[in-house]
Amino acid sequence: MRTDKEIAGLKKRLGERIRKIDGCWEWVGTTSASGYGVLNVNGKRVMARRLSYELHIGSLGNRIVRSVCNSPGCVNPKHLILGDRLKGGRP
């Protein structure tokens, strides 16, 4: 469980690495080869959209975080939803 001080610091770090465009919060920090935002938190690589979901909405457990706008760089919590991994890679 993160403290209020940790949450505030992480929200600040996220805010410094986004550009708001047409409702999306596009990640302008480090990205993966697939274009997804990443950052280090306590020495661990974290996906920016997962962190944004956790900080603004709540726990996500083992679920994946998807964006309704289909932009890999979007970390706007209003665009993020939880999903499940497909078994076998296809529906």
pLDDT range class, residue 87, cuts 50, 70, 90: low
Sequence-distant (6+) residues with CB within 8 A of 25 are 18, 19, 52, 74, 75, 76, 79
Query: Please, which pLDDT band fits residue 91 given cuts at 50, 70 and 90?
Result: very low
* pTM of the predicted structure, to 2 decimals: 0.87
How far apart, in whole angstroms, are the C-alpha atoms of residue 91 and residue 70? 18
